[in-house]
Amino acid sequence: MKATPPRSHRRRNARPGRRRLLALGAALAAALLITGVFVIANGNRPLRIGYFADWNVANRDFTVGNLADSGAPARLDRLMWAFGDISEDGLCHVPGGHEQSWELYQRRYSARESVSGEADEYEQELAGSLYQLRLLQGEYPDLRASLSLGGWNWSRHFSTAARTEESRRAFVSSCVDLWLRGNLPVRGGEPQGGEGAAAGIFDGIDLDWEWPGGAGNPHNVEDPGDAANFTLLVAEFRRQLDALSEETGREYTLSASLSGAPDQAGAYDPEIFDHLDFATVQGYDFSGPWSEVTAYHSNLYPPAADPDANSADAAVTRFVDLGAPPEKLVLGIPAFGRGWQGVEGSGDGLGLPARPADDAYDGPTMAFSELEELEGERYLDEEAGAFAVRAGDQWWAYDDPAVIAIKGDYVLGRGLGGLMVWNLDMDPTGDLVRAMDEALR
């Protein structure tokens, strides 16, 4: 593990926000225990969930083997594999082109690269990242995996898939066939793929439509009925997953990713929670390059200086008020920060005019592992449940393990379903997953 530079934590606001949260959690626990009911995450321990961005095997050279080396799999309950694509015909498919299928299920790994320490054979019916995931699950039999559909870039044709009863039935059937039955296409003269080649790797589907009702990627196909059709789509997934369970004797998990934006909660019908096993709520991206001043982007509560700011608590509360069972809501946390530069003046730097940082991982964002290496002054805002580093004229907001501990207390206090982190290649030494696991004990 790479050593990190000395850290200087300065606590903003003297009010004991975390003690207040602990007291609330204790009171709730006592009240529930009196009645003999204390249920979190449907009677089980709160979930620990992490997204694995498959495209970063090629882009950042972060393989399933690297994930294994991080120690994260031993602390996770479910891996979300991001992302599955939807064709313009509204069907699940592996995008065309050699590179996508090669990395996903045809690339032969050397002994040095492989989770097992053994080299792949040329003729094996499954290789690539999916075979490495199968090997990982062999080492961690309790680690479940869901295939997450959509995301920001691949939600374009969700609307087409959800439009009619016929399209929904065909779409869900194609996803079950490809990802749960594991029937992969045979391509490029390679021996990999075929019926059942990836069977059993995934036992769940995660619907990451960003976003039904609009406000997502401007390239998305949209329809006035999207919000209502999403509810019908969720029901169709539940129907077909239950039918598959009757056939195989295996249980299948259905989840969805929900927006944390104030104007998006109304796009969801509370009926979806009758069909979902859980839903993740994006507790981040509350600010970014569109903000003209520095601001927290994943704060648990509004900061004292901006009481009207969006927050993770506000996002969760909106869905609870909508009718979501708290135990079905999993709070999402980021393994990345959002940054600004040109920050002048003294103090912690919050709320100062600035422009988006332009020298980071993806524009004005930076991975947690890289943020921890910045030399600068660090600030923990316990009341807001937020963290920032000021390095020269740059200012970055992100979650560190201390913030995750606060959010874990919050999850336990409100009886939520757990925590989720996006995404694991930004936490290559597993520090955030470790903090997440410990915070939920």
Terminal CA-to-CA distance of the chain, rounded, Å? Answer: 24
pLDDT reported for residue 227:
95
Helices first, then strands: H and E counts in the chain? 13, 16
In a domain, 302, yes or no: yes
**Opening angle at CA 50, ends 49 and 55, nearest 5:** 150
- Residue 273 DSSP class: H
Q: Report how many domains make up the chain.
A: 1
Strands 47-53, 78-86: pairing kind: parallel
**Under a CB-based contact definition with an 8 Å cutoff, are residues 276 and 330 in contact?**
no
Q: Say which residues have a Cβ less than 8 Å from residue 179's Cβ, sequence separation at least 6.
A: 84, 92, 147, 198, 202, 205
| Euclidean distance between CA atoms 171 and 188, whole angstroms | 25
In a domain, 137, yes or no: yes
Q: Say which residues have a Cβ less than 8 Å from residue 105's Cβ, sequence separation at least 6.
A: 126, 127, 128, 129, 130, 131, 184, 192, 193, 197, 198
Successive 10-residue mean pLDDT values, the chain, 441 residues:
29 34 41 34 79 93 98 98 97 87 96 98 98 98 98 97 98 98 95 98 98 93 96 98 98 98 93 98 96 97 97 98 97 97 94 85 83 97 98 96 98 98 97 98 95
Q: Locate 130 and state its tokens.
A: 């999916």
Residue 123, classed as helix, strand or coil, is coil
- DSSP string over 160-189: HHHSSHHHHHHHHHHHIIIIIS--BPP-TT
Strands 386-391, 204-209: pairing kind: unpaired
> What CATH number corresponds to the domain at position 321?
3.20.20.80
In a domain, 372, yes or no: no
pLDDT reported for residue 7:
29
Q: Locate 127 and state its tokens.
A: 């290789």
Domain that includes residue 419, residue range: 17-337+401-439
In a domain, 384, yes or no: no
pTM of the model: 0.89
372: nearest Cα among 286, 298, 432: 432
Q: Locate 145 and state its tokens.
A: 């995996």
| Euclidean distance between CA atoms 199 and 387, whole angstroms | 42
In a domain, 1, yes or no: no
Whose tokens are 């009171």? That residue is 27
In a domain, 377, yes or no: no
Whose tokens are 């090629």? That residue is 58
In a domain, 139, yes or no: yes
| Euclidean distance between CA atoms 27 and 353, whole angstroms | 41
Strands 144-151, 204-209: pairing kind: parallel
Q: Interhelix angle for 312-322 vs 401-414, to 10°?
A: 20
| Euclidean distance between CA atoms 437 and 431, whole angstroms | 10
Residue 394, classed as helix, strand or coil, is strand
| Euclidean distance between CA atoms 391 and 43, whole angstroms | 44
In a domain, 361, yes or no: no
